Amino acid sequence: MENDLTQNEEQLFQLIETKDYNQLTAEERLLVDELLSESEYNLQRRMISEAAKLFPESTANRLLLPVHPSKTIAVRTVPLYQAIAAVAATIALFLSLWPYQEATSNKPVDQTQLGGIDTVIQTQIITDTIIQYIEHRNQLAVRNTITTDEVADPLIQVKQIRLLEVNAIQIPELNATLIHTKGNSLKDDPTSQLLLGNVYQATNW
């Protein structure tokens, strides 16, 4: 039914629309007679002409229009291409902003901007006194050890032996003068006796 007409059918279609059977040429009659009888042709012609007069013309009711045509945003229609463009623009804006937000979130806080903050609440933490012991002795021991280690050189050892030898030189006259191995006993010392005597008297020893 939806297929295009054959050449003959198309010619017949045009003839039915334009000519009565008795107006057809001999050639046209041959064509019509192949597909339709004369009465069928005339019936179709009559049907077409009667169709135009089939219904009397009617009068439509008065047009009723809304008081406020749909101008509000909620009910207003927009062309499809405008709606698609709006959606595309929103998506593009979203995509362009998304990576920027990612990058900025990883940046360190700008310290200079903190100065602009009105109120800063500072919390002070007070801790107990911490006593720190310093091990001086250990440090000295370490230093001595290091010193001893430094004398590990055989040349230095020789020098030290020589010094000891020098100290051991026997000079009796000098020693007698310099070293007083025999002094007065305290009890024989008159100054001591004077001092100690006063003390003994005061305390009744």
Partner 1 sequence: MVEVIDHHSHVALTELHRRYSGKLLGYFMKMMHQDQELAQDFVQELFLRILEKKHLYDPEKKFYTWVFTIASNMCKTAYRRQPMQTLSSDGFELNNHTHLGDDLAEKARFRELLKISLEQLELPQKTVFVLRYMEQFSLNEIAEITDVSLGTVKSRLFYATKKMTEHLKSFDPTYEANLFKLQ
- Which parts of this chain interact with partner 1 (CB under 8 A)? 1-5, 9-10, 12-13, 16, 37, 39-40, 42-44, 46-48, 50-55, 57-61, 63-66, 69-70, 77, 79
Alpha helices in 25-110 (DSSP H): 26-35, 38-51, 80-106
Q: Which is nearer to partner 1, 9 or 189 (CB)?
A: 9
Q: Which of 49, 53, 39, 63 is nearest to 17 (CA)?
A: 49
Burial profile 54-93: b = 16 or more Cβ within 10 angstroms, e = fewer: eeeeeeeeeeeeeeeeeeeeeeeeeeeeeeeeeeeeeeee
Residue 120 C-alpha from the chain's centroid:
25
Q: Which is nearer to partner 1, 8 or 144 (CB)?
A: 8
Q: Are 12 and 30 in contact (CB under 8 A)?
A: no
Q: What are phi and psi of 159, to 5 degrees?
A: -60, -40
Q: Which is nearer to partner 1, 27 or 50 (CB)?
A: 50
Q: Give Rg (Cα) of the chain.
A: 67
* Least CB distance to partner 1 at residue 110 (A): 50
* Least CB distance to partner 1 at residue 14 (A): 9
Residue 73 C-alpha from the chain's centroid:
38
Q: Which is nearer to partner 1, 46 or 159 (CB)?
A: 46
End-to-end CA distance of the chain: 156
Q: Which is nearer to partner 1, 10 or 189 (CB)?
A: 10
Q: Which is nearer to partner 1, 70 or 145 (CB)?
A: 70
